[in-house]
A = this chain, B = another copy of it.
Amino acid sequence: MFRQLGRLGHMSAQPLDSSEHRSGALLDHLARRIRLRSESVLAPLGLRPRHLVALTVLRAGGGTGQQALAATLEMDSTNIVGLLNDLEAKQLIERRRSPEDRRRHVVELTEDGAKRLSEAECALAGAEDEVLGALNPVERETLYELLNRAATGTVNCAEVICGTDDPR
Contact = CB atoms under 8 A, between A and B. Distances in A.
Size range of the interface on A?
35 or more
Contact of A25 (B15, B49, B154, B161): B49
Interface stretch (A81-89, A90-98, A103-111, A141-149): A141-149
A16 to B, nearest CB: 5
A62 interface: no
A124 B142 CA distance: 24
A77 interface: no
A78 interface: no
Contact of A151 (B30, B122, B148): B30
Contact of A143 (B133, B138, B143): B143
A94 B161 CA distance: 45
Contacts of A116: none
B144 A26 contact: yes
Nearest to A138: B4
25 contacts: A7-B138, A8-B142, A10-B160, A12-B141, A15-B137, A18-B141, A19-B140, A23-B128, A23-B132, A24-B31, A25-B49, A26-B144, A26-B148, A26-B151, A28-B35, A28-B49, A28-B52, A125-B168, A129-B166, A129-B168, A133-B153, A133-B157, A134-B154, A142-B146, A146-B146
Interface of A: 1, 3-5, 7-8, 10, 12, 15-16, 18-36, 38, 49, 52-53, 55-57, 73-74, 118, 121-122, 124-125, 127-129, 131-157, 160-162, 165-166, 168
